[in-house]
Amino acid sequence: MSLTRQHQILQAIIEDYVSLREPVGSKALVERHQLGVSSATVRNEMMALEEQGLIQAPHSSAGRIPTAKGYRFFVDEIAKPRPLKPAEKNAIHRFLDSSDSLDQVYEQTVRLLSQLTHQVAVLQLPVATGDSVQHVEIIETSELTVAVILIDNSGQVHQKIMGLKQPLASAEDAQQKIHSLVKSKSFFEAHQAIVAHNELLSNMSLRSILAGIDDLLLAQQNSRLLISGTSYLANATHDFSQSIAPILEALEEQVTMLQLLNAMVAEEEVTVRIGAETQSQPLSEASIVASAYGPEITRNLGVIGPTRMDYSSTMATVRGVAQYLSRILGT
């Protein structure tokens, strides 16, 4: 793609800001890049970029920094995939080929990805897909409290204590209805049945119990995360206007991250979410770059960092590590 002058200037601003972590002025752009135009022309083009919402002035400084919209435009229209450097390829081979077990492969992968990108790396561990519902039992522990017990086909017991807004007319009847709805179905099929059926129910207590059972099912379907490199986030506090504590809490809790990664079903080899695109308040100033891995492409690995990120390099590294991990798992 042939870049317009404005796009070349936007690319130069992003490259300089990512590298130097300071607002970029027209004079510096002319000095550092072969733009072939005067500083005055660059200033005019920067004004146009600012009107489009692609760059902004962070304060009274004469320099400009990219906006989330500017980063998105860069990722979609300007950033070019690049092959991994020989040193990066060697590091991937050396790290992953030295693993003695599958668990170690996953641990080495997330550690390597963090080291190569200098970002927090996350990896979804795969889960078994053959679990099904064998039995459901509802036990009233008080007038407004029930214990929900779910037994899967392997005999494992999953349980949850639930509060109700109104008493059950009959725990036995509720158990029979729920049992007929989910028995012998896979966890995913049972989840789909509950979602389809629950909206049709007028009994609020029964709806609450079904929602609780659905929570149990989803908890078993969700994999857990391996995380590495939180120290990199701690070293980037100046890239966030507020505390990084909410991001660290989201990583530690894992539910938010798992939901986000599950939603990032890659239409391309690499998926990028920038700032508010994460639809998560704790991650509103962060970016996530993720790629699916595995022979059946059902899980993701990726990195989390500030929006001031080297997207071209990070996308290439995430893609390369995911591809190599997939090859290992497919052998």
pTM value?
A: 0.73
Give the C-alpha separation, 285 to 240, whole Å.
6
274 phi and psi angles, rounded to 5 deg: -120, 120
Give the C-alpha separation, 232 to 289, whole Å.
15
Q: Given pLDDT bands bounded at 50, 70 and 90, which one contains residue 127?
A: low
Question: What's the mean pLDDT when you consider all of the chain?
Answer: 87
Which tens digit of pLDDT belongs to each residue from 154-163? 788 888 898 9
Q: Classify the phi-psi angles of 92: left when phi > 0, otherwise alpha if psi is within -120 to 50, otherwise beta.
A: alpha
Closest CA to 121 of 95, 141, 97, 143: 95
Q: Where are the beta strands (DSSP E) in the chain?
A: 55-56, 65-66, 120-124, 133-142, 145-152, 157-163, 225-228, 271-274, 286-293, 299-306
Which tens digit of pLDDT belongs to each residue from 188-208? 788 888 888 866 577 888 888
Ordered structural domains, the chain, with CATH: 5-78 (1.10.10.10), 86-127+223-330 (3.30.450.40), 133-221 (3.30.390.60)
Which tens digit of pLDDT belongs to each residue from 43-70? 999 999 999 999 999 876 679 999 999 9
The burial class, CB within 10 Å (0-12 / 13-18 / 19+), for 124 is: buried
Closest CA to 168 of 145, 147, 150, 148: 145
The burial class, CB within 10 Å (0-12 / 13-18 / 19+), for 283 is: buried
